[in-house]
Amino acid sequence: MTAEELAAIHLKAMVVPKAWSAQTMQGFLDFPGAVLATSQAGFALGRVVVDEAELLTLAVDPDAQRQGQARRCLLDFEQMARDKGAARIFLEVAAPNVAARALYLQAGFGEGGVRRGYYRGTEGEPINAIVMSKTLIPA
């Protein structure tokens, strides 16, 4: 997927945090440790630094949600991160995003803390982020 295609999906899928532009997407794709896992209508984007992976965003077009695409992207992302040497993966998710939190919990992530006011809502209100992590089992 191109940065423009990623940005288009992100725009449809995101409420909080704010959707990223194609330029922002390209910046992450250009990062030396970038990891991008895609499906027909979704993607997981992150990076690996030394032995740690960070899932920066996971988005699926709303018309294709609840079809397993997010789960597939997440599993592919984990494998790609493992292949790049990651032993652990972490992410932040908006506290009110119950569906995403459930997905991550089902995938073996644990909740490890709260970043208060990490995101801003549509009216500028502070929204907490839940920090989640998972140890990756070596292949």
Segment 47-100, tens digit of pLDDT: 999 999 999 999 999 888 888 899 999 999 999 999 999 999 999 999 999 999
Q: Say which residue the tokens 């390209």 belong to.
A: 26
Q: Which residue has the tokens 């907490």?
A: 128
CATH for the stretch 3-135: 3.40.630.30
Buried b (16+ CB within 10 A) or exposed e, 46-59: bbbeeebbbbbbbb
Annotated catalytic sites, by residue?
A: 92, 104
Percent pLDDT > 70 in the chain is 97
Confidence of residue 121 (pLDDT cuts 50, 70, 90): confident
Strand duo 88-94 + 126-135: pairing:
antiparallel
CA distance 94 to 119: 7
The residue with tokens 């992530």 is 109
Global pTM reads 0.91
Q: In what order do the strands lie in the sheet with 88-94?
A: 34-38, 42-49, 52-60, 88-94, 126-135, 110-120
CA distances from 125 to 80, 120, 121, 128 (A): 35, 5, 5, 10
**pLDDT over threshold 90, residue 18:** no
| Domain regions of the chain by residue span | 3-135
